[in-house]
Amino acid sequence: MITEKKISNKQKTLKQSFNFEGIGLHSGITSKVTVYPERDDYGIVFIRKNLSKNNEIRAHWSNVTSTKLCTTISNNSGASVQTIEHLMSALSGMHIDNAKIEVEGPEIPIMDGSAEPFVKLIEKVGVIDQSKDRKYIRVLKEVIVEGEDDFVKIRPHNKFSVEFEIDFPSNVISNQSCHLQMINGNYKEDISKARTFGFIEEVDKLRSLGFALGGSLDNAIVIDKDNILNKEGLRYADEFVRHKILDSIGDLYLAGSPVIGYFEARKSGHKLNNKLLEKLLSKKSNWTYV
């Protein structure tokens, strides 16, 4: 039996700022990012530092403007930040409630394709409790969003738990499933290291559409038929489905508060994650703050 560690219910922010830079997975453009501590109830806000005005974008599901291969948020003036899901996942997994993120570029750097670099940076500067209590979104009713052969749903549960299943026509991936209850800081070891992945035969098509321009073996698992091209191999036996969980944790943090519920998904992605939040939060009888 696992004994759950007692974690403070106070809001949290960083002890000090940190910065990083790198290439964007899709844009291929190098961006510089600085993440700052912020006051109670500030939330997570992105600032497009290289734009002179109307450059603030709150990290919220209602500001999601694209879910094509990544999650993009924008404001009413058209300022946007692309591929925020891995950084948002790390902030969620490390319990950061309040932070300002200044971005000099159109996209959050992909780093190594996982959330681990962000986790390490957060650990390096440290996390502090703030004066106000955290507000959680507790799911009261089951909500489901279905696609053609994919779905996401969330139902009442006493903890935040995740169950995910994927199925790809590749012997390297095939059918994988993973179920985790997010307690005792297990995000760092069980989720954060899982990298994004793609198939080499899709690269030319994606790049012709303006995606994966910065993709490489340094920031993604690349699959060629039934072979993994990365010499170091996998970090987890089921790294592919764990990365899908990593993405979902980042997308769900766009609720504006941590969610308490049982999240279940099959073959889904950013689009259904965003639709699930919209359906869940648009009806007050589905949820409550605790």
Residues labelled catalytic:
270
User: Cβ of 30: how many Cβ atoms within 10 Å?
Assistant: 14
240-257 burial by CB neighbour count: b if 16+ within 10 A, else e?
Answer: bbbbbbbbbbbbbbbbbb
User: Cβ of 51: how many Cβ atoms within 10 Å?
Assistant: 16
User: Cβ of 216: how many Cβ atoms within 10 Å?
Assistant: 12
